[in-house]
Structure 1
């Protein structure tokens, strides 16, 4: 089988499109730093199905989304592509172009690969329309050497300890948190985290229109975010290499999906040895402990499934423990398959934290918010990161609420 992975950063060249079109099927994705893992998945899926499958990376994320949706609108949905769950998957299914994968999930659950709870993450109205690429929690990754240099013996268990540790890291010459705003999507990370650390119910309310983006709950989160910038806790948001400050050890902590551990490992920061993980504590002791969960789906075109029945064999492989272990070994990413090994010490550590603390799980903002609002709202959050003042914070909140009101008024 011929396996070909084609990369594109912002625009796709004519030659790349021609090469991709020459294959039986093309697997589209937007994940930076996952190239080795996707190559392994594509090779395995090709061998399992007998199809000639190519890989096509399209970035940044907003252009990727635009390409996929315009392709579907034009009646040419990609055969295989990654997406997002929650309301993002709901909107995709509404097009009628996405394959029903009930049969595949029935097999996978019978095999003990996945649970019914995981099936629900990839379902719309009880029907599964996607399979897992990865299931990830969002902890804080930290540099163990930096913590030791700052005299920090253990990760913070309270908000006051978090602030004290950040100050100690600054005193030791580190920037406490790596916080980039690249790729058109990263602005929601700290916004979401500060919402769940102050009021997780309000965080959920933001995604269904019951809580305003300029209300007191958001005001408090934005005040903390602004204060962190004033304290000098964050790296320069304009940095285009999202892991550079961690890899060169200028920054000590990174709030991000646990899948980033594999990217850091490939850049010389070994999980468990160089980096550890903890869940950020709530601001107030009485606030419910919460973890943000991201489930990244792989979806299939209904037409492609009908035209190429062997594509089901590719999907079956992509759900298998073999595929999960291949992705884990290549990029340290956890597929959620219950029969796979934990790909690195970070996943093992987070599994242990979840088992001990039993935090509430909430769907990540990116997947939970209506897709019609997603891009405009995250652009506002990105804009705050580039001008993190109290005055701009108020403008951003008011602008987000104006967008929010306009959308929900017609629902």
Structure 2
């Protein structure tokens, strides 16, 4: 049985499930740094199904999206591939090429693996069309040694404490925040976080067209973002290695999905010992406490599922506690399966924070925004990070709103 993970960022010819043999299946994904986890999932899915499954990575994210959509349009929908939930999943389902997984979800819920709330994250109009790869919250990961060196006794509980911590870290020789702008997608991270820390309802309004990208709510978030750059709180956005400044301990904090704890662990930073986690506090005391939630789906071709019934066995394995624990052990990623172990101390810490503080869960911007706007808007956010001035912030807001206005005018 051949199980391989082919790392490729070069162009990939459309292969899909109709490749050389009916028993050959390619599992496509774009997740950099998750190679060991995908290898484990692919091996388990191959053994469970009897299919010959190979993995193929394509990056950056925008190129991966274009490849998948062009493959679907060309009649070569991949048998298995990762995607995004929210409006991104809605658009994918509209193609009619994605398998309905209701029966599989019914089994999984009856077995106690997942809840109805988790099914909803992967559903369109009440029907589940995907299974979870991971369910992740977006905290701030922080270097405990850096905090100790800067005299910071505990993670910030208020915005004033956050500013004080950032200043203390600078004084101690650290850049407060790691903030790369690579991969064609990372520009939305701080934009989203500053929006929910000032006005979470306005953030949601951005995703449905009811709030403009040049309105006062966005103006305030952009002013804070610009101010953070002026204060020297961020690393160079041009850095291509997403975690280098954390691993070499130049940067002390990283606002990112909790799955990054596994990547840092693989690069020598032990979650719980060297790395801790906290939620960024609201800027104003009266602002509702919130947390960004990312749910990453695995989807299946409807035609491939019909032609190869064994593909359902692969899907069933990928939902299982066994698969969740394998992914957690390899990369520290939490699948959301209720019967898996927390893969590392960061996930445990965030679970405890969520249980104690009960913050409002907000769907991540990448999944919540209409896909027709996603690429153009995040390009503008990336452009701000490369030139974080007041003048460029205004230009970015104006350009984002022009794109936003044009899209919603025809909806």
Normalising by structure 2, we get a TM-score of 0.98
Alignment partners' CA distance in 2, 1:362 and 1:320: 26
> Does the 8 Å CA contact 2:15/2:78 hold for their aligned counterparts?
no
> Does the 8 Å CA contact 1:209/1:408 hold for their aligned counterparts?
yes
State the 1:4 CA deviation: 1.5
Alignment partners' CA distance in 1, 2:10 and 2:241: 15
1:89-144 CA-partner distances (Å, limit 9, x unpaired):
00000000000000000000000000000000000000000000000000000000
Higher mean alpha-carbon deviation, 77-86 vs 22-31, is at 22-31
1:197-232 CA-partner distances (Å, limit 9, x unpaired):
000000000000000000000000000000000000
Alignment partners' CA distance in 1, 2:401 and 2:20: 41
Alignment partners' CA distance in 2, 1:22 and 1:339: 33
State the 1:12 CA deviation: 3.5
Determine the structure 2 residue equivalent to 1:272: 272
Normalising by structure 1, we get a TM-score of 0.98
Determine the structure 1 residue equivalent to 2:409: 409
Determine the structure 2 residue equivalent to 1:204: 204
Alignment partners' CA distance in 1, 2:11 and 2:22: 19
1:47-85 CA-partner distances (Å, limit 9, x unpaired):
000000010000000000000000111111100000000
State the 1:24 CA deviation: 1.3
State the 1:14 CA deviation: 10
Q: Could you say what secondary structure the match of 1:17 adopts?
A: coil
CA separation of 1:18/1:220 partners in 2, compared to 1, >3 Å: closer, same or farther? same
Determine the structure 2 residue equivalent to 1:235: 235
> Does the 8 Å CA contact 1:20/1:54 hold for their aligned counterparts?
no
Higher mean alpha-carbon deviation, 4-13 vs 291-300, is at 4-13
CA separation of 1:23/1:250 partners in 2, compared to 1, >3 Å: closer, same or farther? farther
> Does the 8 Å CA contact 1:6/1:20 hold for their aligned counterparts?
no
Determine the structure 2 residue equivalent to 1:396: 396
CA separation of 1:175/1:113 partners in 2, compared to 1, >3 Å: closer, same or farther? same
What aligned pairs does 1:11-410 form with structure 2 within 5 A after superposition?
11-12=11-12, 24-410=24-410
> Does the 8 Å CA contact 1:20/1:26 hold for their aligned counterparts?
no
CA separation of 1:17/1:305 partners in 2, compared to 1, >3 Å: closer, same or farther? closer
> Does the 8 Å CA contact 1:10/1:63 hold for their aligned counterparts?
no
Q: Could you say what secondary structure the match of 1:91 adopts?
A: helix
Q: Could you say what secondary structure the match of 2:210 adopts?
A: coil
> Does the 8 Å CA contact 1:328/1:343 hold for their aligned counterparts?
yes
**Structure 2: 5+ residue stretches without partners:** none
CA separation of 1:18/1:394 partners in 2, compared to 1, >3 Å: closer, same or farther? same
> Does the 8 Å CA contact 2:17/2:78 hold for their aligned counterparts?
no
Alignment partners' CA distance in 2, 1:193 and 1:84: 19
Q: Could you say what secondary structure the match of 1:20 adopts?
A: coil
CA separation of 1:10/1:401 partners in 2, compared to 1, >3 Å: closer, same or farther? farther
State the 1:11 CA deviation: 2.9
State the 1:18 CA deviation: 12
Alignment partners' CA distance in 2, 1:152 and 1:333: 28
> Does the 8 Å CA contact 2:18/2:76 hold for their aligned counterparts?
no
**Structure 1: 5+ residue stretches without partners:** none
State the 1:15 CA deviation: 12
Runs of 4 or more consecutive aligned structure 1 residues displaced over 4 Å after TM superposition? 13-23
> Does the 8 Å CA contact 1:5/1:55 hold for their aligned counterparts?
yes
1:364-389 CA-partner distances (Å, limit 9, x unpaired):
00000000000000000000000000
> Does the 8 Å CA contact 1:101/1:130 hold for their aligned counterparts?
yes
Calculate the aligned-residue CA RMSD, in Å: 1.6
> Does the 8 Å CA contact 1:10/1:60 hold for their aligned counterparts?
no
CA separation of 1:19/1:242 partners in 2, compared to 1, >3 Å: closer, same or farther? farther
CA separation of 1:320/1:76 partners in 2, compared to 1, >3 Å: closer, same or farther? same
Aligned pairs, how many? 411
